[in-house]
Structure 1
């Protein structure tokens, strides 16, 4: 298969997928290496494709439904599970995490966590990796972008995070 044809097929797969697709799965489907897929994704992004890399794989994200808001938090690594569960338990999706790096500026990592199972899987991947959370770069200070069904759900998130002692407030 020609590279241009493969890249279009990757784009089609991502558009039709119900969830994220890993680079390894795409590599197996197209009989190429994972690194070829990573390069294809980079070229597709450079051409304007809105492809996000989540912890579970590549995805073309639709515009988030409902209300999109941010919360500022601060906690150590031990507080990550309680923080994430507090947000998804209120019916919100944790879209991403953002930190302010002194050299690179804003760094954002997509999360797309909507329930406790997805939080548990994210934490499992974190524990099996040598990588550290982005918030480790900023002494635990970070932002989360949330998609909430309504303002009431967002206010419940704020209350739950305040109760945990991780919500940064003005």
Structure 2
């Protein structure tokens, strides 16, 4: 199989998958090593294919959706409710961002699209893989959220507001 055909196979597999595909899984599919897949992904990205790598594998990013960044504040006990609130309204949580006064901006990709993804994230936290990034900034953090329409983003904003999760964006945070 030529490199071009292999990359076509990889992009179609990622586009048509309902879950992230690991480099190893894509390598098995294309009968090449994970390292070859990583190189192919870099070439596909250079050709403007919207491929995002997550901690669970590669996904095809829908670039035609609407996005908004929400600043939120809550306790660790409210993480599940906050994330469920966003996905139940039809949003996808692209990332979490904190703005630390000493370390600056820190960002982690999440790509949480549904309750199963929320539960997997929460299980990873409970298993001790890490602690929530928001703990560094006393519960304050940002989420980039995408949705199919501005109306859905507005519904998410209203739902977060109703639960008192929205926080005021400070002047030095305008560039987030």
SS at match of 2:71: strand
Residue pair 1:52, 1:110 contacting (<8 A) in 2 also: no
Q: Give the CA deviation at 1:144.
A: 1.4
Q: Distance in 2 between matches of 1:38 and 1:149?
A: 30
Residue ranges of structure 1 left out of the alignment (5+ in a row): none
Q: Give the CA deviation at 1:82.
A: 0.7
Aligned to 2:166: 167
Task: Report the number of matched residues.
Answer: 168
Q: Distance in 2 between matches of 1:118 and 1:25?
A: 20
Matched, 1:119 2:157: no
Superposed counterparts of 1:82-101, under 5 Å: 82-101=81-100
**How big is the alpha-carbon RMSD for the aligned residues of Structure 1 and Structure 2?**
3.3
Q: Distance in 1 between matches of 2:35 and 2:21?
A: 15
Q: Give the CA deviation at 1:74.
A: 1.8
Q: TM-score, normalised by structure 2?
A: 0.70
Superposed counterparts of 1:43-122, under 5 Å: 44-45=44-45, 49-65=49-65, 67-101=66-100, 102-103=102-103, 105-113=105-113, 115-122=114-121
Aligned to 2:131: 132
Residue pair 1:83, 1:166 contacting (<8 A) in 2 also: yes
Q: Distance in 2 between matches of 1:64 and 1:122?
A: 25
Residue pair 1:126, 1:132 contacting (<8 A) in 2 also: yes
SS at match of 1:29: helix
SS at match of 2:157: helix
Q: Distance in 2 between matches of 1:11 and 1:149?
A: 22
Q: TM-score, normalised by structure 1?
A: 0.71
Residue ranges of structure 2 left out of the alignment (5+ in a row): 170-176
Q: Give the CA deviation at 1:81.
A: 0.6
Distance 1:17 1:140, change over 3 A: same
Q: Give the CA deviation at 1:53.
A: 1.4
Distance 1:8 1:126, change over 3 A: farther
